[in-house]
Amino acid sequence: MEEANHRSDNPYTAIEGYGVYDARGEKVGEVGTTVYDAPSDVLKYLSVNGRAVPADRIEVDADGERVTVPYDREKLASAPEMQETSGEFDEAVRKHYGAP
């Protein structure tokens, strides 16, 4: 499947800059970049403090300009650094967060 993160095609750039809150409700950073897979019309990852966070379980509050992730600060801080998506990168992120 062809990946795409063309800025003009990515509808999720609107959340870049939103505050990111961990599972405890503590602010842990801001959304840096978003990685959007155009062919499947899915937001794949957020970059938080330069680290990859899978977007499949996030909650977005557009009015409050905040994103809540179901992970703690320590899990986020030890996540793989954001990079170009590839099968190897996807596998490393899934393994880190315990996803199948």
The predicted-structure confidence for 34-48, as pLDDT tens digits, reads as follows: 998 888 888 999 999
Is residue 39 situated within a structural domain?
yes
Asked whether 80 and 96 are in contact (CB, 8 A), the reply is: yes
Is residue 50 situated within a structural domain?
yes
Q: What sign does the CA torsion over 59, 50, 1, 86 have?
A: negative
Q: Would you state the pLDDT for residue 80? A: 96
Is residue 47 situated within a structural domain?
yes
Average pLDDT of the chain is 89
Domain count, the chain: 1
Q: Would you state the pLDDT for residue 38? A: 82
Binning pLDDT at 50, 70 and 90, where does residue 6 land? low
State mean pLDDT over 85-92.
92
Radius of gyration of the chain (CA): 13
Rounded-to-integer distance, Cα 68 and Cα 5, Å: 22
Write out the residue range of the structural domain in which residue 79 sits.
11-97
> pTM for the complete prediction?
0.85
Binning pLDDT at 50, 70 and 90, where does residue 92 land? very high
Burial of 78 (0-12, 13-18, 19+ CB in 10 A): exposed
Q: Would you state the pLDDT for residue 53? A: 96
Per-residue pLDDT at 5 exceeds 50? no
